Amino acid sequence: DGGITQSPKYLFRKEGQNVTLSCEQNLNHDAMYWYRQDPGQGLRLIYYSQIVNDFQKGDIAEGYSVSREKKESFPLTVTSAQKNPTAFYLCASSPRDLPPNNEQFFGPGTRLTVL
């Protein structure tokens, strides 16, 4: 089945530790995205990548880092510099058809809790 997966589903981190959230897709999509969702809030864009080996900061990139070495994978590292990392993290992908009118396909999310 084609889809987008995230792991782990739940993640606990001690203060001062870096953690990496996994995101993999087999939809052959060029573009991938990371969002953060806090209770009662919409989705805020952390980073996005429209092609392999290239990525751009979103609205709230501080304290996060990403890589895009493979088309299928877009891991997100939450660094110790992120002051309030407890949140629900969502990864998404989309094709880059023209015109750019395509919905995003979301993974199931990772809930990160800082202890």
Partner 1 sequence: GESVGLHLPTLSVQEGDNSIINCAYSNSASDYFIWYKQESGKGPQFIIDIRSNMDKRQGQRVTVLLNKTVKHLSLQIAATQPGDSAVYFCAEQSGSYIPTFGRGTSLIVHP
Binding positions for partner 1, rule: CB under 8 A: 6, 31, 33, 38-43, 45, 48, 50, 58, 90, 92, 94, 96, 99-109, 111
Query: For residues 24 and 100, is the Cβ–Cβ distance under 8 A?
Result: no
17/41 with CB nearer partner 1:
41
Q: How far is the CB of 97 from partner 1 (least distance, A)?
A: 9
Written as six digits, the tokens of 106 are 């979301």
Is residue 26 helix, strand or coil?
Answer: coil
What distance in Å separates the CA atoms of residue 77 and residue 12, rounded to the nearest whole number?
14
**What's the min distance (Å) between Cβ of 10 and partner 1?**
10
Sheet of 64-66, strands arranged across:
4-7, 19-25, 76-78, 64-66
* Nearest distance in Å: CB 76, partner 1: 14
Q: 85 or 107: whose CB is closer to partner 1?
A: 107
Cβ 53 to partner 1 shortest distance, Å: 17
How many C-beta atoms surround the C-beta of residue 62 within 10 A? 10
- Using the minimum distance from each CB to partner 1, give the nearer residue, 70 or 96: 96
Residues with Cβ within 8 Å of 42's Cβ and at least 6 positions away in sequence, in order, are none
Q: Which is nearer to partner 1, 13 or 43 (CB)?
A: 43
